[in-house]
Amino acid sequence: MTSIAVSFNGEYALLDIGEGTQRQVMHAGLGFGRLRRIFITHLHGDHFFGLFPLLQTLSILRRTAPLEVYSPEGLSKILDALSEFSHFRVTFPLRVVEFSGPSVFRFPRYTVEFFPVDHLDTPTFGVRIRERDKPGRLDVKKAEELGIPPSLRSLLKKGIPIKLPDGRTVQPGEVVGPPTPGKVLVYSSDTRPTAGVVEKASGADLLIHDATFRDDLAERARATGHSTVGEACRVAIEAKVKMLALVHFSARYRDEDLDEIEREARSIFPNAVVARDFLTIDL
């Protein structure tokens, strides 16, 4: 059952939320208070059946902070049915945003883009998270030479031109270096290898890709709308990503198989890793 926590300073979001996610969140020590958003890639149970019990737990814990859930169309009807026909009650502000096609959502710290992937007849979306660019370094020496008072320097760092008391205008580029581009993470969700993932993951810091089967079961991967380990590696090569994390392994594979899968993957794409439970990747 899939769930990926994407942590920023002081908050985190979940990508998908399969059964048992709340338990793993507790084990991982993430806490529930810092969870702000949940992004669901498609409405297959192993990607969203952990939502209802989490909402119940947050209600029992008397959460008051809002929670946002982004999902392909259908989720709110299911939540409505749960409220109408069972004793399911959400007692904090829950905002469900549904979409039926490619969508971009901008938040203060990051932008999330949902793009269609190829998972049989189920509307399924990959996710691209782009962290906001970090402002460039301010050249303090130069700022002093130009006589810019310290109180105005943070405006320049934010990219805002300023006017000095003597009437001179200073452009940010005169004292601030180029911004550091935000990190980019792409999650393929469940999918066949697609050009869309290659495009969206181009140059990404991390690609998290479906690798349900080993290459000897390529036919089965095709039939079920998933990718093989080799296919995932080739997407990573084509997209020239910096790192690849393989996820969503078939239950047939044991720990020893995963060790072998990791070796196989690294022989194709050296910076590949098998995403076991609780794996942490620092970007």
Question: Which residue ranges make up the site for a second copy (CB under 8 A)?
Answer: 1, 18-20, 22-23, 42-46, 48-50, 52-53, 56, 73-75, 77-78, 80-82, 84-88, 121-122
CB of 78 to a second copy, least distance (A): 5
- List 46, 139, 215, 257, catalytic entry: 46
Catalytic-residue membership of 46: yes
Distance CA 233, CA 236 (A): 5
Name which of 212 and 228 has its Cβ closer to a second copy.
212
Name which of 23 and 240 has its Cβ closer to a second copy.
23
Is 51:26 a contact under the CB 8 Å cutoff? no
CB of 204 to a second copy, least distance (A): 28
Q: Is 114 left (phi over 0), alpha (psi -120 to 50) or beta?
A: beta
Is 230:215 a contact under the CB 8 Å cutoff? yes
CB of 106 to a second copy, least distance (A): 27
Distance CA 66, CA 94 (A): 6
Name which of 35 and 162 has its Cβ closer to a second copy.
35
Q: How many CB atoms lie within 10 A of CB 56?
A: 17
Is 179:135 a contact under the CB 8 Å cutoff? yes
Terminal CA-CA length for the chain: 24
CB of 54 to a second copy, least distance (A): 9
Name which of 7 and 122 has its Cβ closer to a second copy.
122
Question: Which sequence positions are flagged as catalytic?
Answer: 46
